[in-house]
Amino acid sequence: MKTLAIVYHSAHGHTAHMAQRIAEGARRRPDTRVELVTAEAAAANPESLLAFDGLIFGSPTYLGGVSGPFKAFMDTTGRLWRGLRFRDKLAAGFTVSSLPAGDKQSTLMAMFVFAMQHGMQWVGNPIIPEQHSGVPYEDAANRLGSWSGLMAQAGHASPPDAFAPGDVKTAQLFGENFARALHRLAQEALA
């Protein structure tokens, strides 16, 4: 059994919706336990994350970076950083924002640097954008073309589940890929 926590902040539900789709994808892989943990809960007890083999971080993009509550969670992990307690755990990141670009990359980079400072191992989003093979743009996996992490777009003030089908598909594939990486690493450790 491999365990995975998706640690996310969501003020209006879009990032929470994506966290659930990622969890669905990860659960496609047998023997994977997935827990959704809000950034607020993780900030109250960052040590609780030590129990997991992998952590996926999620935040809306606010002004080109992670949201305040997500940053507050990051900062509570300082005492774990001192002992490199997250070392060798797998990590990945996702972000939702309202504009097609919206400086989402900066948010993913903040999560990447955070994971690197903790000695974690980063897992990306290895999906060739499906619009290149003729899938309609709205339906295409990785239509936004992000490999360093998952990006998704939700219209400003739209309902929490108002995502293009392609973004939902991307989230599920992203979760599945992360779970696959968790299990593959475990197999290599045994070899």
Ligand X SMILES: Cc1cc2nc3c(=O)[nH]c(=O)nc-3n(C[C@H](O)[C@H](O)[C@H](O)COP(=O)(O)O)c2cc1C
What is the pattern of x (binds ligand X, CB under 6 A) and - over residues 93-112? ---xxxx--xx---------
CB closer to ligand X out of 58 and 124: 58
Q: Would you state the structure tokens that stand for residue 84, as one six-digit string?
A: 């490199």
64 near ligand X, rule: CB under 6 A: yes
**The one segment of 27-35, 54-62, 78-86, 122-130 that binds ligand X by CB under 6 A:** 54-62
The footprint of ligand X on residues 136-155 (CB under 6 A) is 154
Judge contact between 37 and 73, C-beta under 8 A. no
Q: Would you state the structure tokens that stand for residue 4, as one six-digit string?
A: 């995975």
Instruction: Report the residue from 32, 61, 125, 170 that binds ligand X according to the rule CB under 6 A.
Output: 61
Instruction: Report the residue from 60, 93, 166, 175 that binds ligand X according to the rule CB under 6 A.
Output: 60
| Partners of 4 in beta bridges | 34, 54
The footprint of ligand X on residues 6-45 (CB under 6 A) is 10-16
For 86-151, give the secondary structure using H, E and C: CCCCEEEEEEEECCCCCCHHHHHHHHHHHHHHCCCEECCCCCCCHHHHCCCHHHCCCCCCCCCCEE
Which residues of this chain interact with ligand X, rule CB under 6 A? Answer: 10-16, 60-64, 96-99, 102-103, 154, 156
